[in-house]
Structure 1
Amino acid sequence: MNTALTTRPALLADLPELALLFDAYRQFYEQASDVPAAQAFLQARMTQAESVIYVAQVGGVGPVLGFVQLYPTWCSVEMACTAMLYDLFVSPDARRGGVGKALMQAAREAAAHLGAVRLDLSTAHTNTRAQALYESLGWRLDETFRYYTLRV
């Protein structure tokens, strides 16, 4: 990938491109494609300041190559702000070019800017390529706690 790879906060003007990437991300997790709903979801998160989204581009122009989305939250045990890195996606044609690494670094900086003491994420057990990236950047697999979910 070109050394002029840059990351920046997503803008509302990015929504059409960002929604396509977000839709592809959701399809990776076996959800039905729905670009209009993806765009509406992202727009709501952005306009209500409920998440932090960064995008990657070459030189800050051209197509959006990928995105990362964080949700600020709180940890009662640490009595501190934490951030959940919920979404990371790189366009298939931009993979293996440092885009994911650049977005992960942007996520770390964004979490620090939020005052978060920790950045958390979860991923599919089968997503070994992403796991290799996370571990190469110093992330550690939590072997203390189990993660549960309940549909309501």
Structure 2
Amino acid sequence: MKVRLIKVGQKNIRDIGVLFDLYRQFYKYKTAIKESTNYIKERINNNDSIIYACYLRNKAVAFVQLYETFDSLNLNKKLVLYDLYVLENYRNKGIAKILMKKAKEFAIKKKYKIIELSTAITNKKAQYLYESLDYKKDKEYYNYYLEI
């Protein structure tokens, strides 16, 4: 199985839009392929995020989306790994690990001190992956949100 890892650009927007829509469905959102693709297109066009994807035989099978932001308490920048998705038929083959390692390489290259991520409490497979890569579960802070 030869995996091709790429940084997503203009020519990959449609492929990643499809995966992004499936990712959202995984988290129980309704399918919205056009909106999902437009969202990815905006992130790429505005340089709002960094997206890496894995291809097998010219088929996009996985992606990770990273956002650069700030860490006020540590007086530094940090990387937020917000989205990670692998097509169901390609899971448990090491593809997510490839993307996670690429995210870490990117963070090291850009001199980030931390990569932050969150996942659903019920997503035990993702939690196992993150912990196997030395990510630590936050024991000091709770996440809150306000819908507007």
Q: TM-score, length-normalised on structure 2?
A: 0.96
Alignment of 1:93-104 (within 5 A): 93-104=89-100
Structure 1 runs (4+) deviating above 6 angstroms are: none
Tell me the distance in 2 between the aligned counterparts of 1:81 and 1:112: 12
Tell me the distance in 2 between the aligned counterparts of 1:85 and 1:9: 15
Aligned to 1:10: 8
Tell me the distance in 2 between the aligned counterparts of 1:115 and 1:38: 30
Post-superposition shift, 1:113?
2.7
The structure whose RCO (Cα within 8 Å, separation 6+) is larger is 1
Indicate conservation of the 8 Å contact 1:74/1:80, yes or no: yes
Alignment of 1:31-50 (within 5 A): 31-50=29-48
Q: Percent identity?
A: 32
Q: Which runs of 5+ in 1 are unaligned?
A: none
Q: What SS does the aligned partner of 1:82 have?
A: strand
Alignment of 1:1-152 (within 5 A): 2=1, 4-58=2-56, 62-152=58-148
Q: What is the count of residue pairs matched by the alignment?
A: 148
Query: What is the letter of the counterpart of residue 138 of structure 1?
Result: D
Q: Which runs of 5+ in 2 are unaligned?
A: none
Q: RMSD across aligned C-alpha pairs, in angstroms?
A: 1.1
